[in-house]
Amino acid sequence: MSSVNYGSKRIVTGAGYGFRDWLAQRVTAVLMALFTVVLLAQVIFTSGPIGYEEWAGIFASQWMKVLTFSVIIALLYHVWVGMRDIWMDYVKPLALRLALHVFTLVWLVGCAGWAVQALWRL
Amino acid sequence: MTELVRKRPEFRNINALKDLPSYRLPAAGIVSILHRISGFLMFLLMPLFIWLFDNSITSEISYAKLSAAFGIGIGFVPGWFFKLLALALIWAYLHHFIAGVRHIYMDAFHAVTKEFGKSSAVATLVLSLGLTAVLGAKLFGLY
């Protein structure tokens, strides 16, 4: 361990979030997998061809909107943990890694906002 | 150790361009790095995915525009390019999903023997690539 632990030498990882994020990735993964099954089942068990009406109809009900919204939030956390791990593994310079973390978060939050907007247009 | 035994190559400070190409990854290793790559790919293609979702549910007109995008294309981007991107998304999702299920299965059932690691890795690759081929054929109108 370095005796200098401030400024650019400060170690900013390993602050006790390992288990929480490991578990969160699995929990969000299970939620998203269940959502995939629910969505797939609705698509498969629609009799006849699926056009706009049938497809948009799936997301019209309130319970489906709530479920999809939860999945979007779950996806946010899931992807954040994954991308943070990737930057942590391959990007050693601190300033660059911090910039990539910020970019990742803005990207994710922006995408989530867009998805929620699209969902509640119905 | 006898002098007849060839000294095993040591890999220190692995250089991506010099060492990695000569390193034999086991099946489980291939599944693992593809898991990471597919996740990263989906991260990059997220705006595309949301654009598809948005247009598909907003209105009849946007839905029709989306269908046309996969046929004729939009602007200077041809239809087959959208299909190619969709195929990449399909593979990425399928591989990430199946490899993820494999992870959770190994976590939950403590199935951590070397043999299971190999057999489940091979199954993951066969299943994900197979389903990608089937869905890709449907996407490109082969059946």
Q: Contact A119/B57, CB-based, under 8 Å?
A: yes
Per residue in B116-125, pLDDT (tens digit) is 999 999 999 9
Å between A53 CA and nearest CA of chain B: 8
Lowest-pLDDT choice from A2-6, A56-60, B60-64, B86-90 = A2-6
In this complex, do A33 and B97 lie within 8 Å of one another by their Cβ atoms? yes
- Under DSSP, the state recorded for A8 is G
Longest Cα–Cα distance in chain A = 69
d(CA B17, CA B103): 29
DSSP 8-state class, residue B74: E
Which tens digit of pLDDT belongs to each residue from B36-70? 999 999 999 999 999 999 999 988 898 999 888 88
pLDDT higher than threshold 60 for residue A2: no
* CATH number, span B33-139: 1.20.1300.10
Put simply, whether the predicted model's pTM sits higher than 0.90 gets the answer no
* Domain at A18-119: CATH architecture: Up-down Bundle (1.20)
Q: Return the beta strands (E) in chain B as ranges.
A: 73-74, 77-78
Per-residue pLDDT tens for A23-64?
A: 999 999 999 999 999 999 999 888 888 888 889 999 999 999
Cβ contacts below 8 Å, chain A against chain B, sum to 59
Which amino acid belongs to residue B113?
Answer: T
- Cβ atoms B98, A33 nearer than 8 A: no
Q: Could you give the C-alpha distances from A70 to A37, A42, A116, B100, in angstroms and in order?
A: 15, 18, 10, 20
Quick: pLDDT tens for A71-118.
999 999 999 999 999 998 888 888 899 999 999 999 999 999 999 999
Q: Which of B117, B55, B49 is nearest to B89 (CA)?
A: B49
Extents of the domains making up chain A: 18-119
For residue B28, CA distances in Å to B32, B115, B125 come to 6, 10, 10
Mutate to test the interface with B, among A35, A52, A53 (most CBs of B within 10 A): A52
Q: Where do the domains of chain B lie?
A: 33-139
